Structure 1
Amino acid sequence: MEEIERNYKKELEVLKQEYEDFVYIVSHDIKTPMRAISNIATWIEDDLDPSVGGDIISNFNLLKNRVGRLESMMNGLLELSRVNRVELEFYEINIPKIISESIETLEDKENVDFLVINNLSNENVDTLGKKLTRVLNHLITNAVRFNNKEKKEVVIELNETAEAYEIKISDDGPGVPEAVKDKIFSIFYTVNSKDVVDSTGAGLAISSKILQVVGGSIKYETRDTGGSIFTFNWPKTITLKI
């Protein structure tokens, strides 16, 4: 029985390695022709007579947008496949500081009211800083991007236990329909059409995979007053599950 289990584990490791190698090779091989298509479309646009109709220009822009989206999806798939192989450096970070920096990098933050509730007794932690930053960036960006209100509200609450940091990010957007709540952590899934909100749908899948690797957890719930709440636990002591 033990020998069978060992064989299964070896086969699983081989399959995981083959999957990661496949994604890495395919994503890199596809990027070159995608960029060529985008460049050729731009060159044709530049050569067109100024009198060319707006529909043609619009179609060229649509072509370049779709190529860009496909490249972003390939980048997301590549990042997901390499979560347990890259950015594994431990160093000290200040959690409120990286949240502030994440907010500052947002493109559309002028119409957003951010409230950070800091209940941490120790703001500094020696951890996988880039991984934690990735998760925060994805969740904060989503809280803004998928909120369809003119004036948005995002609340970030920081708590801790003896074992973990608990970070809760809530918004007053439309929330997630009950029927699809189980799908939101799947790669490339988006509640809205990608033509409505330009997103690859990779952020939550990547965040969930990172938390799985570090031994944390993430959950979604609907806010009582409408909107979304994402709560994740980040262990104070990391035990990599690779």
Structure 2
Amino acid sequence: MHYDHRLVLPDGSLKYIVAIGKGYKNDKGEVVGIQGTVQDITEKTLAEQIIIEKAKEINDVRSALDESSIVTITDHKGMVTFVNDKFCSISKYSKEELIGQFHYLDNPYYKINRFIKNIWTTIGNGRVWSGEIKNIAKDGSFYWVYSTIVPFLNNDGKPYQYIAISSDITEQKQAQESLNNALTDLEKKNKELDQFAYVVSHDLKAPLRAINNLSEWIMEDMPEMPAEVSSNFGLLRGRVMRMENLINGVLDYSRIGKTLIEKQETDLKIMLHLIIETIVPTEGFEVNIADTIPEIKIARILFQQIFTNLISNAVKYNDKPIGKIECLYESLPNFHQFTIKDNGPGIAEEYHQKIFKVFQTIEARDKKESTGVGLSIVEKIIEEMGGTIRIYSEENKGASFIFTIPK
């Protein structure tokens, strides 16, 4: 007889025993006695349970790897002893074609490749290797994997097998390649655009200067020309100046972000005072510069362009007997926020986005001299700095241009 029993002791703990016995019979065949032993097999039983649990854990991990990763196992020479279904799927080789072959079957170029030799040197010395590998599938297509190759060492510290766990990164590499090609193409087009802008500006400015000079000579030769003719000449020279300013504006716009400008510690209150002294008329305007406007490290010339454009617009379009301009500041958690506020005619909501586009103006250029580039330059500078600009305005209620830059 052989019986396994589980016993629950008074303290709630468990004991496992095995009872082995033999019955004795009399002459009539009746059992008259039993002789046997009882053995405590608790430690053995618990050890077996642990082994079963660990085996299940290993099997679960293997199943998870099979579902999520490309797995290969080779011997110490690199001969394949195991591949999972994902490896077969991506390489397009069957298990029968792979088992017993050397691992470079799916990339014959690696036989003589220094890159693969470096991998074998690393793992052959018992170290883990991780990195990207480009392979060739059976049909000749390429695929990329990110692999981690782990050597398993014997008692002498020598590898006896290698396990490679890989993930398919083909789509990521293709996307990166497309992005790199697009960036290269963009850089090429930007260079062509810069060259085009330079040539166009040179070719356009030359005849403009000639027209301006010619008009000056005519006016000098005809000092007493009729009033209407004199007015037309003034109009002509104004158009020439506008065209030159427009060309300069387009050039400024195209150069933004192309040159690295050194940042300098700058007192923005002093900068604003100097700009206002240059742009704002001494009569008919009230200007308030907030005491909170700080001294910060910035690309000084770019900030001068921002403030000059915003303040000159506030002056140019103001329609009140007394124009009011406020320069405000607020410190946000991660940004500096500046506001240029005026009491001018305001801007209808339908124009809030339009005014930041190149060559867009609200009023006819004959009514208010403007190239339509200034606010486009402002927006592009601020965005290159990592900030944003927005407008808060209602028609006939003034306008506030609010912009932020990172601290």
AA aligned to 1:23 is A
How many Å apart are 1:143 and its aligned residue? 1.0
Match of 1:142 among 306, 309, 313: 313
**Cα distance in structure 2, aligned partners of 1:127 and 1:101:** 17
**Cα distance in structure 1, aligned partners of 2:223 and 2:361:** 39
Relative to structure 1, the CA distance from residue 170 to residue 78 in structure 2 (aligned partners, 3 Å threshold; closer, same or farther) is: same
Structure having the higher strand fraction is 2
Relative to structure 1, the CA distance from residue 87 to residue 64 in structure 2 (aligned partners, 3 Å threshold; closer, same or farther) is: farther
Match of 2:199 among 25, 30, 34: 25
Structure 1, unmatched stretches of 5+, are 237-242
CA deviation vs aligned residue, 1:15-55 (integer Å, no higher than 9, x gap): 122112211221122111101101101101111262x3111
How many Å apart are 1:164 and its aligned residue? 2.0
Return the TM-score normalized by structure 2: 0.55
How many Å apart are 1:232 and its aligned residue? 0.5
Structure 2, unmatched stretches of 5+, are 1-173
After superposition, residues 227-242 of structure 1 pair within 5 angstroms as 227-236=398-407
* More displaced stretch, 181-190 vs 75-84: 181-190
After superposition, residues 87-106 of structure 1 pair within 5 angstroms as 88-106=261-279
Relative to structure 1, the CA distance from residue 118 to residue 87 in structure 2 (aligned partners, 3 Å threshold; closer, same or farther) is: farther
AA aligned to 2:374 is G
Q: Is the 8 A contact 2:339 2:401 kept in 1?
A: yes
Structure 2 residue 376 is matched with structure 1 residue 202: no
CA RMSD, aligned part only?
1.7
Number of residue pairs aligned between Structure 1 and Structure 2 = 233
> In percent, how many aligned pairs have the same letter?
32
AA aligned to 2:275 is S
Q: Is the 8 A contact 1:168 1:232 kept in 2?
A: yes
Q: Is the 8 A contact 2:290 2:328 kept in 1?
A: yes
Q: Is the 8 A contact 1:223 1:229 kept in 2?
A: no
Paired position in structure 2 for 1:65: 238
Paired position in structure 2 for 1:239: none
Paired position in structure 1 for 2:88: none
Relative to structure 1, the CA distance from residue 144 to residue 25 in structure 2 (aligned partners, 3 Å threshold; closer, same or farther) is: same
How many Å apart are 1:179 and its aligned residue? 2.1
Match of 1:167 among 338, 345, 360: 338
Q: Is the 8 A contact 1:90 1:128 kept in 2?
A: yes
CA deviation vs aligned residue, 1:65-123 (integer Å, no higher than 9, x gap): 10110000000000000111347121110011111111111153421111222335xx2
After superposition, residues 36-115 of structure 1 pair within 5 angstroms as 36-48=210-222, 50=224, 52-86=225-259, 88-115=261-288
AA aligned to 2:336 is Y
Q: Between Structure 1 and Structure 2, whose CA radius of gyration is higher?
A: 2
Q: Is the 8 A contact 1:87 1:130 kept in 2?
A: no
Q: Is the 8 A contact 1:140 1:169 kept in 2?
A: yes
Q: Is the 8 A contact 2:208 2:244 kept in 1?
A: yes
* More displaced stretch, 109-118 vs 129-138: 109-118
CA deviation vs aligned residue, 1:176-205 (integer Å, no higher than 9, x gap): 122222210011211111111112121111
Q: Is the 8 A contact 2:265 2:297 kept in 1?
A: yes
Task: Give the match's secondary structure for 2:249.
Answer: helix
AA aligned to 2:221 is D
AA aligned to 1:60 is F
Match of 1:14 among 184, 188, 197: 188
**Cα distance in structure 2, aligned partners of 1:81 and 1:56:** 38
Relative to structure 1, the CA distance from residue 164 to residue 109 in structure 2 (aligned partners, 3 Å threshold; closer, same or farther) is: farther
How many Å apart are 1:161 and its aligned residue? 2.1
